Structures are given as structure tokens and as C-alpha cells.
Structure 1
Amino acid sequence: MLLKKNIPFKYVFGKIKYEVLLVAVYTLVVVLLHDRFNLKHMAIPLSVPMIMGTVISLLLAFRSNQAYDRWWEARTVWGAIVNDSRTFSRQVLSFIDHAYDGEEVGHFRERMVRRQIAWCYALGQSLRGLDGREGLDRHIPKREISHVCRYTNIPMALLELHARDLNYALKQGWINEYQQVQLDQTLSRLCDAMGKCERIKNTVFPATYSLYIHFALNFFILLLPFALIEYFGFVEVPMVVAIAASFLLIEKMAIHLQDPFDNKPTDTPMTAISRNIERDLKQMLNDHHLPETVNAEYKFYVM
């Protein structure tokens, strides 16, 4: 996720540097041909690109809104994951209280909470197309890692272990049936959140819609130098570049926002959110080995 401050111009311009270079060269060639051969017939009415520019602006605005809706939905789902992770850990620690003495109960409570931390990291890794097993050894034992590695969907396997442990706790009498239902409902909400993230990830933004807008934008940029040549001469080179850069940046913004799990700076900050969940849940366990706080002072994004 991009932060409000310290966004370098190099990052912004880097998204369209090749397109801007091509536009500058193309516009300069048009100006040189017009100036050298005095080709008056090259000019076209300014109203033509103006009408196209208006239509393209509306289309880009609509596409940007749709892309932002996808990004915001992803962020909303991860906000629910934060809440349900805290709720699940609180329920585990409060339902299975200290009335049940014994080392096994203590290990059970801690294992459930640490597995929930692992689930958050594994889900973020999986959504980004990375290895969901990476870093699991910091939170769950090796026997559980061996179990989940047999699954394609690592987060789903971790939720299955949660369900098995809840059934075991019920049989041992550590929780009653009503508490088991409450815990299972929380697991169901976590499973629903995972499914929503997977839906956003696997639902491709309509390619034809993007392609048509891209073609229309390129045609608009191709016409623009011929409409301004009679009015500005060589000055039209920076003008066309500036106008084209504005449209291209809006298009690039929409392209990046439409994929909130694409392992880019514009992503939903799943790693940072998981780190906050880890901090909160470890404090609930009275574990003082908290994750390091990311210093974003000199960074313009968090992942």
C-alpha cells in the first residue's frame, strides 16, 4: 500500500517512462515534418481530440472507480480478518481458562493462537502467489508443517487443524457445546474471508474492456499532435507529453488497483496487517518476543 508521504517521482514516472518517450519522439517527428515541408493539410480540427478526450476521461473515471472498489473490498476483508483473529484468540484463551490446570491445556491454548498467526501469514503469501509454507516454522511445530504441506491450499489446511483441535477440546471437556459452536462460527467467518480474497484474486478484470480503453487512448494520443500543430509549433511537444502522461498515469493507476494481491507496492498491506495481528495475539499470550515494527519513515509503501 502506498503511503501519503515520500512517494518518489522516479516511482511515478517509472510507470510510464517508455510510453512518454515514445509520445515525445512521435510528436517531435510530426512537428519536424510540418515545419520542414509546410504540410498544412496535416492539421485536424481541435474538436476531434477534444471529443475523444472527454469520452476517454469518462471511461477512465469509471474504470478507476471499479478498480478502487476491488482494492477497497480486499482491504475490508482483511479488516474483518484482523477482528476475527483477535476474537478467535480471545475465545480460546477465555473459554479454556486456568480452571483446567495442566501443561497440556496450556500448550493447547498457545498452539491454537500461534497457528492463527501462521494462518494470516500463509494466506497473504498464498494470495500473492508465493510459497504459503514460508515462515511457518516460526509459529507452528514441525509435525503440523508436515501435515499442511500435503495440501495445495495451506491456509485451508491450517483451518482444518483448528477444527480438529476444537473437536478434541470438546471431547476432553475443556469447552462445552455452546462454546464449541461459538468458536466454530468464528472459524467459518475466517473461512468466508479467505474465500472472498480468493474470489477477488481469481476473478480477472474484463480484458476486452481494458483493451478497448487502451486502444482508444492510444488513438487519442496519436491524433493530439495534429490538432495542436497549427497553434503551438514546437511548444506542442511538452504539451502533448504532459496531456498524454496525465491520461496514461490514470490508466496505470487503475491497472494496479484492480489487482490488490499482485505483490506490488499498491497491494493490500497483508504482511503489515499480519504483523499487527501477530503483535496483538502474542501480547494476549504474554509473549514479549514481538515482531519488529517496520520503519516506514524512509519508505513510500508497506506490503
Structure 2
Amino acid sequence: MVQYNPKDWITFIFRFHKSDTFRQLIPMMITIGLYSYAVAYLEIEYWQLSDDSHVKNITIMHGMLGFVISLLLVFRTNTAYDRWWEGRKHWGALVNNSRNLAIKLSVILKEDTDKLFFKRVIPGYASILQKHLNDEETAKTLFEDLDLDINHHNHRPNQVAKMMFQKIHDLHEVGKISGDQLIIINSEIQSFTDICGACERIKNTPIPYSYSSFIKKFIFFYIMTLPFGYVFSLGYYVIPVVVFTFYVLASLELIAEEIEDPFGDDANDLPTRKLASNIKKHVEEIL
């Protein structure tokens, strides 16, 4: 996750981070620039279209569709950010629940051997969940047309949660944990599985294909038709205008694509590895 000072906004203008969309779009921007130059050259030098040509009226279409494409991109980015923020809330809940479970066990358990078990297993759940969500195969479990070589009975986070509950059950059987304490601790362990399921829902359910595909096609045809109408009023200056317009629209789509799956290794994804490390540190301090 990129660390930055949100108040130092001038730095954002002149600094190009490796994850910046400008770097990713440079090849396509050059291609769009050459395409715009070719259209401008044909209309000005070769075809020599007059100002009363019907081609000039293409700008009317862009004026009408500009509002539509802006609404689509706003909805797209908002939906992607909601997924990113929801993932952050679930990992924040995992941090809190891990602390709460460790605090309760540190008071309830008297033997160091029992505490040592949970000192290792509670942080282990966060670490295993981080690797589970970062696995590309996890995102493909809902695909009906793929026959993945996955043993779904060996769901790693579930296995760790089962180990914790098994240990709690054994401690209850030998009288080290009372029935009321068992109910309290059970709710904490259950919350781990609930968080895992919520994160898997985000990971396994991307934006519908038809919606994402339509936006990309919309941006492409919108940009490809821009030079034809605006050459009459801008001349060769249409080249930087079209390139900049493409940069803005395509950047919004790229940002949405990057943050809609917040559990990967992209620069703007959630720092799940760091969060898992913090859970380990806090649990070890408590237990």
C-alpha cells in the first residue's frame, strides 16, 4: 500500500509513482496521439473538409454521451472503492477480534502451555487468511466452466479455526473452561470464519463481465470518434486534447480495476501482510 501525505497535494502533480496510471497508459497514449494526428492530417490537408461539413456535427454526439460516460465511470469507481473499504473494515474487525480473544484467553487460561498454543494459532489464522485471499485460485472457485485442481475440504483458514475450537472444546471437557466461558470464546472464533467468508465474497465476485466490457468499449469508441469533430475547431491541437481525454477516462477505469480486488499485491491494495504481522505482535504481547 502506498504511503503518502494527503496534505502535500503539490507533490502529487510532479511525482509519478510506479503505480501511477500515467506510466501504464503511455504506450496507448502515444498510439492515440498518432491516430489523432492521422485523422487531423486527412481532414485538414487531404480531404480539406469545409466548415459546413456534416462531420463537424459529430461533436453533438460527444456532448450528449459525455454525461452518460461520466455517470458510468463514477458508479464504476464508487463500486470498486466500496469493495476496497469493505475489505479494510473486515480486516480491521479481524484485528480487534484477535485482540479480544487473546485478552479473554489470557485471563481464563492459567497454564502457559495452553496460552502458548493460542499465542501461535491466533496469529496463524490471520497469516493463513492473507495467503488464502492472495491466491489466484481462490478467486476462481465460483467459475462453473473451470475444473480446478483444488481440494475444497482442505480450506486452510477453516482448518485453523477448527484447531482453535477443538482446543477450546478439550479445555472445556477437562474443566479448565466453564460453559459460560465456552459460549463467549465460541462467538469470537465464529467471527473469524464470518470475516473469512465476507472477504471471500469480495474476492470471488468481481464486477459483472458485461458491465466492465461495456465501459471499456464505450471509452474506446468515444475516444476514437473525438478527433473527427474537433479538428474543425482545434486543428492539430486536437492531438493533445484527445490524448488528455483518453488519459482521464482510462485512468478512472484502471483505478477501479486495481482496487476492486483489495487482497492482491498491487501498490494500492490493502496491506494485509502488515495487518497480519501486527496481529501477531499484539497477540504475543497479550499472551
TM-score bucket of the superposed structures, by smaller chain: 0.7 to 0.9
**Residues 191/11 of structure 1: CA separation in 2 closer, same or farther (3 Å cut):** closer
Q: Secondary structure at the match of 1:11?
A: coil
Q: Secondary structure at the match of 2:114?
A: helix
Is 1:46 matched with 2:46?
Answer: no
Structure 2 unaligned residues grouped into runs of 5+:
6-10, 139-150
Aligned to 2:90: 77
What are the superposed Cα offsets for residues 94-137 of structure 1, whole Å, 9 maximum, x if unpaired? 1113xxxxxxx2121111121110110110111010799xxxxx
**Residues 32/21 of structure 1: CA separation in 2 closer, same or farther (3 Å cut):** same
Aligned to 1:138: none
* Whole-angstrom distance in 2 between the partners of 1:236 and 1:54: 20
Which of the numbers 231, 250, 258 marks the counterpart of 1:248? 250
* Whole-angstrom distance in 2 between the partners of 1:130 and 1:38: 52
Is 1:11 matched with 2:19?
Answer: yes
TM-score by length of 2: 0.85
Aligned to 2:38: 29
What are the superposed Cα offsets for residues 138-167 of structure 1, whole Å, 9 maximum, x if unpaired? xxxxxxxxxxx9963111111110011001
1:66-215 to structure 2, matched below 5 A, reads 66-97=79-110, 105-129=111-135, 152-215=154-217
Deviation at 1:235, TM superposition (A): 1.4
Q: Which amino acid aligns with 1:112?
A: F
What root-mean-square deviation, in Å, do the aligned CA atoms of Structure 1 and Structure 2 show? 2.1
TM-score by length of 1: 0.81
Q: Is the 8 A contact 1:44 1:226 kept in 2?
A: no
* Whole-angstrom distance in 1 between the partners of 2:217 and 2:162: 47
Structure 1 unaligned residues grouped into runs of 5+:
98-104, 133-148, 286-303
Aligned to 2:145: none
1:274-293 to structure 2, matched below 5 A, reads 274-285=276-287
* Whole-angstrom distance in 2 between the partners of 1:55 and 1:175: 61
Q: Secondary structure at the match of 2:154?
A: coil
* Whole-angstrom distance in 1 between the partners of 2:214 and 2:152: 43
* Whole-angstrom distance in 2 between the partners of 1:71 and 1:22: 32
Deviation at 1:213, TM superposition (A): 1.3
* Whole-angstrom distance in 2 between the partners of 1:280 and 1:195: 24
Q: Secondary structure at the match of 2:19?
A: helix
Q: Which amino acid aligns with 2:275?
A: I
Aligned to 2:229: 227
Q: Secondary structure at the match of 2:79?
A: helix
* Whole-angstrom distance in 2 between the partners of 1:47 and 1:227: 9
Q: Is the 8 A contact 2:19 2:267 kept in 1?
A: no
* Whole-angstrom distance in 2 between the partners of 1:2 and 1:61: 23
Q: Is the 8 A contact 1:170 1:177 kept in 2?
A: yes
* Whole-angstrom distance in 2 between the partners of 1:109 and 1:213: 53
* Whole-angstrom distance in 2 between the partners of 1:150 and 1:214: 35
What are the superposed Cα offsets for residues 238-280 of structure 1, whole Å, 9 maximum, x if unpaired? 1111111001101111111211123322222111111111111
Q: Which amino acid aligns with 1:75?
A: R
* Whole-angstrom distance in 1 between the partners of 2:30 and 2:261: 26
Deviation at 1:54, TM superposition (A): 1.4
Deviation at 1:35, TM superposition (A): 2.7
* Whole-angstrom distance in 2 between the partners of 1:198 and 1:118: 18
Q: Is the 8 A contact 1:257 1:267 kept in 2?
A: yes
